[in-house]
Amino acid sequence: YLLKQTTPERLIAAIEEVHQGGAPMTPTIARKVLQLVGVRSGRTGVAQEFHLTPREQEILGLLVDGLSYKQIAERCSISYPTVNTHITHIYKKLHVDSVAAAVKVAMQEGLV
């Protein structure tokens, strides 16, 4: 999910991310997704209901913030394939198959 004003550098990075199985989303789009699904935060223990590890919770929060897989890897000082593995686990635990769906569940369930 990219906007027309996306820089060429970001566009190339997004194409590489898609090629590696990622789903890029700009922060602007992430905010719009959050506005569409609404925000219900403040629930305690919800992350445990989904059996998310602390690292998965951290990565899910970064997805909600609109970071790309590459940016998450850099921020967490882990490799791109490791990010991909964590996100695959997040998808399975949340029963979703896309970043947008994961963000929606995260916001609806107060996971971030």
Q: What is the pTM of this model?
A: 0.63
Beta carbons of 112 and 57 less than 8 angstroms apart: yes
Higher confidence at residue 35 or residue 20?
20
pLDDT of residue 90: 96
Q: Higher pLDDT residue, 90 or 51?
A: 90
Terminal Cα distance for the chain, rounded? 21
Domains and CATH numbers, the chain: 8-108 (3.40.50.2300)
> What is the rounded average pLDDT of the residues 35-56?
67
pLDDT at 92 exceeding the cut of 80: yes
